[in-house]
Amino acid sequence: MAKSIDEIAKLAGVSVTSVRLVINGQDKKYRISEKTRARIQSIIDEHGYYINQTARSLKLQKTQTLGLVVPRLTNPFFSQLTEALEIRCRECGYQLITVCSRDEAELEKQVVENLIYRSVDGLFVTSSYRERQSELMENNHGKPVVFLDRDFGTPDIAVVSTNNLDGAKLLGRKMARQLEGRNLTFMGADDWLPTIQDRLEGLKAGLKEEGYSLLDKNVLYAGRISRSHGYQKMAELYKSLGRAPEALVTSALPVLEGCLEYLKKEHGGIPHDMLIGSFDDHAMLGFLPNKVFSVRQNATELALEAYRILEAKILKEELEQQKRVIMPDLITY
């Protein structure tokens, strides 16, 4: 069983400092005798050693932990972002603690406070509302914070987000060229979010550039970004149309999953000629027989930029800019 540094010092009959110097390879610099070094090293070789992280954290006033708050891990984008961020944090010596807020303001407040009470060194937060961003910056107990994905326009904060507006324009142009007379329906969710607003605005602009106007009556909202809400809204749409939509764009992948589940379960399948567009990407989209376009956010680059900014804030380094907007890719299946 591995021994603590204190235990190794007692077994070797030396000071804790001597053990630390041997472990850190500084025994010669500080004139630890070869006999003493060998005795310490033999105990380490036999038992191994571990560092008391609690004591280390108290001494350094750092826990080497970071907190991450996301709405849901069932959303493929946030699970991809979380994994990319966890890898980067681990590479840099930090443990990432991830919690979900379900896009509920009170729950978000609670989980953020819990992370702060655990003395994380910094926070990554995907806020549910602008007010929550402002509240957190006023009550962050001195913890550095970087906000992810959603830029509500809150002043003087660090935000790393996707260029949803221009990404949606790409999708709009691509969809318009493939419509061939089909009537397009946009199905959104959580319409107060800036990401959703930018996606709709960009889609309309891209369609318009190709001579197509998205009618207001064809802009629908499923409530929340979830599979169940997408299922319910597609049921309503199917009932009103008497069929599946000819072309469909959803504002997020969970909404699309619900729409397709309804068509598959209640009507035997997804019409092969239905044109599909979505924000966020999953390889399973390639298994559909339909023509599918998806706007894929760059989770890895988002994670790297968010970590870079948070690390600079932890080290109290000057930042030329606290906001980074990253262009997504348009994927065709």
User: Same structural domain for residues 140 and 153?
Assistant: yes
- Is residue 217 domain-resident? yes
Average pLDDT over residues 306-311: 96
The pLDDT of residue 58 is 44
The pLDDT of residue 30 is 77
Hey, how many other C-beta atoms are within 10 angstroms of the C-beta on 50? 12
User: Same structural domain for residues 25 and 103?
Assistant: no
Taking the alpha carbons of 188, 193, 198, 204 in that order, is the dihedral positive or negative? positive
- Is residue 332 domain-resident? no
Average pLDDT, the chain: 92
User: Same structural domain for residues 12 and 121?
Assistant: no
User: Same structural domain for residues 189 and 88?
Assistant: no
Q: How many domains does the chain have?
A: 3
Sequence-distant (6+) residues with CB within 8 A of 318 are 312
Q: Residue 120: phi, psi to the nearest 5?
A: -60, 155
Average pLDDT over residues 43-55: 70
Q: Provide the CATH number for the domain around residue 113.
A: 3.40.50.2300
pTM, entire model:
0.81
Q: What does the chain come to in residues?
A: 333
Q: Provide the CATH number for the domain around residue 26.
A: 1.10.260.40
User: Same structural domain for residues 286 and 178?
Assistant: yes
- Is residue 138 domain-resident? yes
User: Same structural domain for residues 144 and 219?
Assistant: no
Q: Which residue in this structure is represented by tokens 């000071």? A: 15
User: Same structural domain for residues 123 and 18?
Assistant: no
- Is residue 197 domain-resident? yes
- Is residue 183 domain-resident? yes
- The band of 242, judged by pLDDT with boundaries at 50, 70 and 90, is very high
In tens, the pLDDT along 265-308 reads 999 999 999 999 999 999 999 999 999 999 999 999 999 999 99
Q: For residue 186, what are the domain limits?
A: 164-296
Sequence-distant (6+) residues with CB within 8 A of 170 are 206, 295, 330
